[in-house]
């Protein structure tokens, strides 16, 4: 009910809050002029004015769509993973709405990260027709951050979720996936994650050894302590690159560690003449001139050869 002054305008606000079964419960509201459009509705409306014989007929027209998101798989099971290592699970996100959706992974803990699956990996899997449903991702570099993004209507996006345990504890965590559909409404989804951190069987005192820069024929030594953290004996074999290529020697190469035993591993760096020659840039060979052509003069270091 409204009262409009002479030669003025009146804005009428309509609030429409349908449920998912609106069209099934009210089949008369389906738009018969658009039978091929899913969720199309047409609700007739009539506006009657005082002392006006003819009413004003209009209709409320639109399309019903959901703000749902489908996840495959619905729960991420990472299994057992050693502390300091990582396990990757693939997650497929499907936009079931007819509107664009913006999404974000909220409040991710430090041991979970999300990245996009690289485009070249997806193209290779599609070309070779590989079945990767619920599988892992072979290559992670190049995908970019996947914690924020947008989904077009009906789009499917593949993400890689990485679990890197920081301690030997059980993980039972629910990821909060927030979606904004068409700048209209916000909805939160929950993705379950299960995993188990396992203590490393073998630990090293250093994960990176920086050797000193020394001349050919000299020797530099460093050492690393190896510890057996398990309750059973472990037999280790160190695979060392060829000495001509790396200049490295490791002692001992084969060692057996009793439970909770530690031993020192010595690393020697002794560059040889063959090793230093591998580091030099190869000399470019100048092609011999053809018959009747004059050989180009060799430019002096620091000078550029001027064309004739």
Q: For the stretch 24-33, what's the b/e string if a residue is b when 16 or more beta carbons lie within 10 angstroms of its beta carbon?
A: eeeeebbbee
State the CB neighbour count (10 A cutoff) for residue 76: 21
Q: Which residues contact 223 (CB under 8 A, 6 or more apart)?
A: 264, 265, 266, 267
pLDDT confidence of residue 71: 93
In a shared domain, residues 124 and 101: yes
| SS3 per-residue string spanning the chain | CCCCCCCCCCCCCCCCCCCCCHHHHCHHHECCCCCCCCCEEEEEEEECCCCCCCCEEEEEEEECCCCCEEEECCEEEEEEEECCCCEEEEEEEEECCCCCEEEEEECCCCCEEEEECCHHHHHHHHHHCCCCCCCCCCCCCCCCECCEEEECCCCEEEEEEEECCCCCCEEEEEEEEEEEECCCEEEEEEEEEEEEEECCCEEECCCCCCCCCCCCCCCEEEEEEEEECCCCCEEEECCCCCHHHHCEEEECCEEEECCCCEEEEEEEECCCHHHHHHHCCCCCCCCCCCCCCCCCCCCCCCCCCCCC
Domain count, the chain: 3
Query: What is the pLDDT of the chain when averaged over all its residues?
Result: 84
In a shared domain, residues 32 and 124: no
Q: Is 294 part of any domain?
A: no
In a shared domain, residues 168 and 91: yes
Asked if 193 and 112 touch (Cβ cutoff 8 Å), the reply is yes
CATH number, position 118: 2.60.40.10
Q: Is 143 part of any domain?
A: yes
DSSP β-bridge partners for residue 69: 95
Domain extent for 176: 69-198
In a shared domain, residues 166 and 225: no
Locate 45 and state its tokens: 């409306």
Q: For the stretch 208-220, what's the b/e string if a residue is b when 16 or more beta carbons lie within 10 angstroms of its beta carbon?
A: eeeeeeeeeeeee
Where among 166, 198, 230 does a domain terminate? 198
Is the pLDDT higher at 307 or at 87? 87
Question: Is residue 275's pLDDT more than 80?
Answer: no
Asked if 151 and 93 touch (Cβ cutoff 8 Å), the reply is yes
In a shared domain, residues 164 and 218: no
In a shared domain, residues 186 and 258: no
Q: Is 296 part of any domain?
A: no
- CA 134 vs. chain centroid, Å, equals 15
pLDDT tens across 36-85, in order?
888 888 888 888 887 777 888 888 888 888 888 999 999 999 999 988 88
pLDDT bucket at 93, cuts 50 / 70 / 90: very high
Where among 172, 198, 224 does a domain terminate? 198
Dihedral pair phi/psi, residue 166, rounded to 5°: -100, -15
In a shared domain, residues 229 and 110: no
In a shared domain, residues 153 and 76: yes
pLDDT confidence of residue 225: 93
Question: Is residue 299's pLDDT more than 60?
Answer: no
In a shared domain, residues 38 and 147: no
pLDDT bucket at 111, cuts 50 / 70 / 90: very high
Q: Tell me the C-alpha distance between 112 and 162, whole Å.
A: 6
pLDDT confidence of residue 303: 52
In a shared domain, residues 94 and 128: yes
Q: Is 17 part of any domain?
A: no
In a shared domain, residues 162 and 98: yes
């Amino acid at each position: 009910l409204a009262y409009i002054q002479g030669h003025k305008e009146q804005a009428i606000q309509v609030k429409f809050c349908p449920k998912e079964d609106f069209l099934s419960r009210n089949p008369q509201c389906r738009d018969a002029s658009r039978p091929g459009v899913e969720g199309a509705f047409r609700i007739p409306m009539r506006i009657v004015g005082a002392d006006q014989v003819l009413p004003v007929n209009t209709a409320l027209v639109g399309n019903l769509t959901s703000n749902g998101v489908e996840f495959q798989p619905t729960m991420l099971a990472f299994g057992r993973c050693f502390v300091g290592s990582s396990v990757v699970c693939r997650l497929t996100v499907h936009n079931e709405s007819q509107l664009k959706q913006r999404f974000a992974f909220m409040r991710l803990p430090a041991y979970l990260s999300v990245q996009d699956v690289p485009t070249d990996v997806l193209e290779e899997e599609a070309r070779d027709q590989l079945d990767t449903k619920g599988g892992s991702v072979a290559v992670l570099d190049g995908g970019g951050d996947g914690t924020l993004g947008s989904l077009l209507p009906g789009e499917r996006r593949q993400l890689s979720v990485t679990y890197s345990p920081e301690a030997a504890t059980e993980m039972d965590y629910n990821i909060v996936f927030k979606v904004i559909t068409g700048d209209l409404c916000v909805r939160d989804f929950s993705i379950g994650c299960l995993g188990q951190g396992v203590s490393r069987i073998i630990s090293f005192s250093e994960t990176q050894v920086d050797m000193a820069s020394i001349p050919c024929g000299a020797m530099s030594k460093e050492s690393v302590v190896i510890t057996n953290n398990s309750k059973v004996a472990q037999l280790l074999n160190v695979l060392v690159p060829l000495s001509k290529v790396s200049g490295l020697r490791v002692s001992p190469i084969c060692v057996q560690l009793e439970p909770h035993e530690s031993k020192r591993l010595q690393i020697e760096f002794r560059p040889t003449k063959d090793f230093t020659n591998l580091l030099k840039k190869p000399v470019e060979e100048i092609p011999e001139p053809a018959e009747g052509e004059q050989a180009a003069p060799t430019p002096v270091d620091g000078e550029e050869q001027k064309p004739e």
